[in-house]
Amino acid sequence: MRSRQHGLLRLVTSVVLLSAAVSCTGEDSPEPEPSPTPQPTPTVYAGEAPPGLAAQPLRYLHDPAQPGQDILSDPLGVRIHSVGDAFLISSNSEERHLLQHAADGTVLWQGESHIERFTQDRDGADVFEVSTRTGDRVTRTVVNEAGETVWTGSDPRESYLNGLVVRAPAEWSASDPYGTFTLRDPAADGVEWSYEFTAPDEAEASSAEDRDTADDEDDAAEQAAHLGVPVGARDEVVLLDDGAGLLQARDLTDKGALLWSVSGDTVAADDGRTLSAPRPRLVGFYSLPADDTSPSDEADDEDTDAEAQPRRTVLVRWSSPEESSLLSLHDLRDGETLWTLTEPGSNTVGRAFATTPVTGTVWNGTTGVLLVPQADATTSLIAVDLVSGETLWVFEDAVERSIAPRFALAGYVYGDTRAEDGGTQVVFDSRTKDVVADDLSGYVEAVTDDGYALVVQNRQRFVFAPETPPGGTATPSLSPTERG
């Protein structure tokens, strides 16, 4: 692997200029004569492996002896997503899918249902949802990375949310979000919690009456906290959005007890600025390194192990019309605000009570850097150190804005560039933005959580192992290809 310190501007400009030169060569060049016989599909990878991968591939996909050849030989081709440590192969000509383990190709699941979305369970592991229709009846099924069914349901009031099954009120809508909600674990003996989300005037009246008899501040805080619509869950915590700017965390193991709450008008930037009537949107859940504080000599082994556990956090974007949005990182269990950051421009929240985190983010757990897309006209992307809350670099000129980061691998970020010839793939350091490769011998199509990559070269797909097997790092966030 070659390492270079030149910038993205020089790289992508060269791609665009080359494309323009090719387009000006005229149209009189003779068409190449077709080969009299089909060329065999290559089975040997030529050139250096992409950065972050082992020198030689483990295996290749397109071969009669390899599993899944029926779908891989689809006349219209296939598209491939990573799901945890597996590859999901989908036909482009029909509803046909195959899930195979990345390392050895073991077929884990096959189906002919429509894929609705990619999401995560309460542990942060990847799952995907499929649907089948029989008449007017739609059955949805959630499958995990091992190919196991974790939930199936056909009740239109029920939906899957990060490992929970949420039953909404009858005829629920974002404009009329109130009523009784039931949250339960798909497992037969799992946790279940029901509550009523009331309209603001009813909740405020109840809070005012109860506040007169509150015995202490904790009781008053509990009574004053409104409930809301479930918008995300991780581990034993579910997050509720009341639609009026209040986000709260509830403990599923303690009958929905309030853990903490935060509103956007109490989240301030470094200069003390707060937003007017902001609304929250989840960016993602992340596990960060434990605090650097060392345990005392008297601490026992159990306490030491507890202190060494990663810190579970949730990142929230607060948006208000015509104001620069704010990011705030909170401890998932106690709600402590670890840092806030003003974004370059105004990023809209989107639809009310959205359960899909901000799309387009790319999380590099190796370096602790999160790439966050921006709606700003001049800045399309910022790279944030999630531990410090510092903006490391931005995409701000026209050439850099033509790059679409797709996924992280080791300490690198892989992105696609847009150009008249179809563009190319660029690899850059996630902390510095320095380009480390711009002339890859193959195109990296997908990367699994454990670092295995699918690399396309000359009509063949090769599977590479990671250069260095990754350790237990942060929970990944949804990639750009993981839609709703």
Answer yes or no: is pLDDT of 474 > 90.
no
In this prediction, residue 302 carries a pLDDT of: 53
> Mean of the pLDDT values across residues 140-168?
97
- Report whether 394 contacts 344 (CB < 8 A): yes
Is the pLDDT at 236 greater than 50, yes or no? yes
Average of pLDDT values for 167-192? 91
pLDDT digits (tens, 9 = 90+) for 150-162: 999 999 999 999 9
**pLDDT tens per residue across span 306-327:** 557 899 999 999 998 888 999 9
Q: Which residue has the higher pLDDT, 294 or 363?
A: 363
pLDDT given at position 312: 97
Instruction: Tell me the average pLDDT of the chain.
Output: 84
Residue 414, CA distances (Å) to 99, 453, 464 in order: 23, 12, 15
Instruction: Single out the residue of 238, 193, 241 nearest to residue 353, CA to CA.
Output: 241
The pLDDT > 90 percentage for the chain reads 64
pLDDT (mean) for 341-355: 90
- Give the model confidence (pLDDT) of 68-79 as tens digits: 788 999 999 999
Separation of alpha carbons 450 and 470, rounded Å = 6
pLDDT, tens digit, 9 for 90 and up, residues 89-102: 999 999 999 999 99
More confident of the two residues 482 and 251: 251
**Amino acid present at 479:** S
Percent of the chain residues topping a pLDDT of 70: 79
pLDDT of 81 over the 90 cut: yes
